[in-house]
Amino acid sequence: MKIRYLTIILIILSFASIFVGVSNVSPLDIFQLTEEQAKVLMVSRVPRLLSILIAGMSMSICGLIMQQLSRNKFVSPTTAGTLDSARLGILVSMVLFTSANPFEKMLVSFAFALLGTFAFMKILEKVKFKDAIFIPLIGLMFGNIVSSMSTFIAYRYDLIQNISSWMQGDFSMIMTGNYELMFVSIPILIIAFFYANKFTIAGMGEDFSKNLGLNYRQVVNLGLIIVALVTASVVLAVGMIPFLGLIIPNIVTIYQGDHLKKSLLHTALLGAIFVLICDIIGRIIIYPYEIPISLTVGVIGSGLFIYLLFRRKKYGI
Amino acid sequence: MVDIKNVFKSFNQKKVIEDVSLTIEKGKITSFIGPNGAGKSTLISMVSRLIAKDNGDISIDGKDIMQTKSNELAKKISILKQSNSINLKLTVRELVSFGRFPYSQGKLNDYDWEKVDEAIDYMELRDMQDKFLDQLSGGQRQRAHIAMVIAQDTEYILLDEPLNNLDMRHSVQIMKTLRNLVDELGKTVLIVIHDINFASCYSDNIVALKDGKVVKQGRACDVIDKCVLKDIYDMDIDIKDIDNKRICVYF
């Protein structure tokens, strides 16, 4: 698949996404929008599209970076406790600073996500049994422990309903005014592009990096900061989108290889396309109602994930 | 010239290297031999700053390696550890191009690509340069890694058991390449090697280590000696002269 085709698909789907919904806005009206239609577009549809694009791209890239740095194909924000830690962070910020604005919430959530991911990487260093499947299992357990802390705190402070809203990723609540924080991801992803070479080298191990004069620790830390910051902003605005960071990078790697310079853009585009498709399906399947994105992504994603596992077994990689 | 002076290293209170002092000649192949656990790999890892020494001084061409910037050292000295550990899906050409990282920081210019091409041709990898590493055999993968080291274009090249898992044909091929690197390109090569006959036939100097100490160092023909080898390996090894090469018979 070439970048060109991916871009064309993405543009077509983006248009489709803008014109799918309960309020009737047809592509033919685009030059003579009524006031209401214009409002629907500007307040709901376009922000929704933008948030889908950013979430799809950034969560996939986070997964790619994590897989590279941990040297394990099954590590992603979902399977390393990053998402759960980010959620715990949001909860803590709500309990401690009741009037926290979204930006402050994001900072606290970022700190927790960073701490959680860092703890997971430290555990990875200590674990002797480096089986490819074993490590994400540890990550899932770790994530569940963090998650149980969230549930505990939420019970104590009567916030259960509140946290379940981030448990399920959902784009239907996205409107002008409540998603802009996601734009934080864009400059961070651009930095990721500049570091593509360094992440690839770091993925070959500490010795290999040192031999080439690369400051391994610094690059790994930067990678984790990127992952934590992006995850925190996405969880806060949209909620958890499972599997995304796991399957998209793995699919891209199959045909594009592990050189981040070659795979980053593909990962970003394919991630956005995947979330767009899932979102459109979720919007039309029980029209005029909606299925949350985490459900569609979860169903399609876990199917793809099983396929990838079997494929891996077949080719022995 | 690599100068190692009174170097010590221990892991968890266990002494791995004890008071080692060595001088490694420029423009030669120096082999490190010795039984398992003698500290060979640890020693060359310290020379290439992959692990820190506890005590002592190591300098390359008069410059202390701890005082030199990591990126500067990467243009002076390269090390290849056992290469099967990399399981990234990279093409041969991509791997070799990483050898230019110390010079280009990832943005390769024409000169860098020229060096990459040279290295690929030197290791005769041209027709498989776009293949992924996991599609190659062990010998080809090893050659790809050596090509990367050649592209890195350092005066000193350190290799940790480069013949590991290779059959005889590929082993000979690799050793001949190393010989050529020294004879044609004037590199200085340091290798950790288990097969003493390869060490005997292809190296200029040999350093024999045991229990973290230098037992003997000198020209290959001096170290490949019945008494010395008995000392290192605790077994009787017959040495025959065949075509002016000293061959150890230890079976």
pLDDT in tens, A194-250: 999 999 999 888 888 888 989 999 999 999 999 988 888 888 888 888 888 889 999
* Confidence at A115, pLDDT banded by 50, 70, 90: very high
User: Is the predicted pLDDT of residue B39 greater than 70, yes or no?
Assistant: yes
pLDDT in the model for residue A167: 67
Residues in chain B within 8 Å Cβ distance of A198: 106
C-alpha to C-alpha distances, B184 to B25, B39, B177, B180, B241, nearest whole angstrom: 17, 31, 10, 5, 27
Where is A297: in which H helix or E strand?
Answer: helix A293-315
Is the model more confident about A3 or about A127? A3
Q: Do B70 and A208 touch (CB under 8 A)?
A: no
Helices (H) and strands (E) counted in chain B, each on its own, are: 10, 12
How many Cβ contacts (< 8 angstroms) between chains A and B?
A: 69
Report pTM: 0.88
User: Is the predicted pLDDT of residue A128 greater than 70, yes or no?
Assistant: no
pLDDT in the model for residue A56: 92
Q: Do A205 and B94 touch (CB under 8 A)?
A: no
**CA separation for the pair B73, A211 (Å, rounded):** 8
Q: Do A257 and B91 touch (CB under 8 A)?
A: yes
Where is B127: in which H helix or E strand?
Answer: none
Question: What proportion of chain A, given as a percentage, has pLDDT over 70?
Answer: 96
Question: What proportion of chain B, given as a percentage, has pLDDT over 90?
Answer: 26
The three-state secondary structure class of A75 is coil
Residues in chain A within 8 Å Cβ distance of B48: 210-211
- The 10s digit of each residue's pLDDT in A2-57 is 888 999 999 999 888 888 877 777 777 777 778 888 888 888 888 889 999 999 99
Average pLDDT over residues A87-98: 85
Comparing CB atoms, the residue among B73, B86, B132 nearest residue A208 is B86
Test mutation, A65, A212, A311, chain B, max B CBs within 10 A: A212
pLDDT in the model for residue B84: 55
User: Is the predicted pLDDT of residue B86 greater than 90, yes or no?
Assistant: no
- The CATH number for A121's domain is 1.10.3470.10
Residue B95 lies in a domain: yes
Q: Do A200 and B91 touch (CB under 8 A)?
A: no
The residues on B that touch A, with CB distances below 8 Å, are 45, 48-50, 69-75, 78-81, 85-91, 94, 98-99, 101-102, 105-106, 132, 134, 152
The residues on A that touch B, with CB distances below 8 Å, are 71, 196-198, 200-201, 203-205, 207-208, 210-215, 253, 257-259, 261, 317
Test mutation, B69, B70, B93, chain A, max A CBs within 10 A: B70
Comparing CB atoms, the residue among A204, A211, A259 nearest residue B78 is A211
Average pLDDT over residues B87-99: 89
pLDDT in the model for residue B97: 92
What is the distance in angstroms between the Cα of B78 and the nearest Cα belonging to chain A? 6
**CA separation for the pair B205, B190 (Å, rounded):** 10
Main-chain phi, psi angles of B166, to 5 degrees: -105, 150
* Confidence at B157, pLDDT banded by 50, 70, 90: very high
pLDDT in the model for residue A93: 87
Strands B77-80 and B156-160, sheet pairing: parallel
Q: Which DSSP state fits B54?
A: S
pLDDT in the model for residue A145: 93
Residue B76 lies in a domain: no
Using an 8 Å Cβ cutoff, are B144 and B133 in contact? yes
Average pLDDT over residues B215-244: 85
Test mutation, A195, A211, A252, chain B, max B CBs within 10 A: A211
pLDDT in the model for residue B83: 56
**Structurally, how many domains does chain A consist of?**
1
Least confident of A144-148, A192-196, B152-156, B217-221: B217-221
User: Is the predicted pLDDT of residue B188 greater than 90, yes or no?
Assistant: yes
Range of the domain at B126: 82-153
Range of the domain at A275: 3-25+33-315
**CA separation for the pair B189, B24 (Å, rounded):** 10
Q: Do A210 and B49 touch (CB under 8 A)?
A: yes
pLDDT in the model for residue A286: 85
ipTM: 0.85
Residue B186 lies in a domain: no
What is the distance in angstroms between the Cα of B199 and the nearest Cα belonging to chain A? 24
Q: Which residue of A has its CA nearest to B107?
A: A197
Mutual angle of helices A3-18 and A46-70, in 10-degree steps: 140
Residue B185 lies in a domain: no
* Confidence at B66, pLDDT banded by 50, 70, 90: confident
**Structurally, how many domains does chain B consist of?**
1
pLDDT in the model for residue A307: 87
What mean pLDDT value characterizes chain A? 86
User: Is the predicted pLDDT of residue A165 greater than 70, yes or no?
Assistant: no
Using an 8 Å Cβ cutoff, are A70 and A122 in contact? no
Question: What proportion of chain B, given as a percentage, has pLDDT over 70?
Answer: 98
What is the distance in angstroms between the Cα of A150 and the nearest Cα belonging to chain B? 36
User: Is the predicted pLDDT of residue B82 greater than 80, yes or no?
Assistant: no
Where is A53: in which H helix or E strand?
Answer: helix A46-70
What mean pLDDT value characterizes chain B? 88
Helix intervals (H) in chain B: 40-47, 70-73, 92-98, 101-104, 110-122, 138-152, 168-185, 196-202, 220-223, 226-233
pLDDT in the model for residue A273: 94
Q: Do B74 and A207 touch (CB under 8 A)?
A: no
- Single out the residue of B68, B38, B47, B61 nearest to residue B4, CA to CA: B47
Average pLDDT over residues B119-134: 89
* Confidence at B135, pLDDT banded by 50, 70, 90: confident
Least confident of A210-224, B88-102, B225-239: B225-239
* Confidence at A171, pLDDT banded by 50, 70, 90: confident
Where is B192: in which H helix or E strand?
Answer: strand B188-192
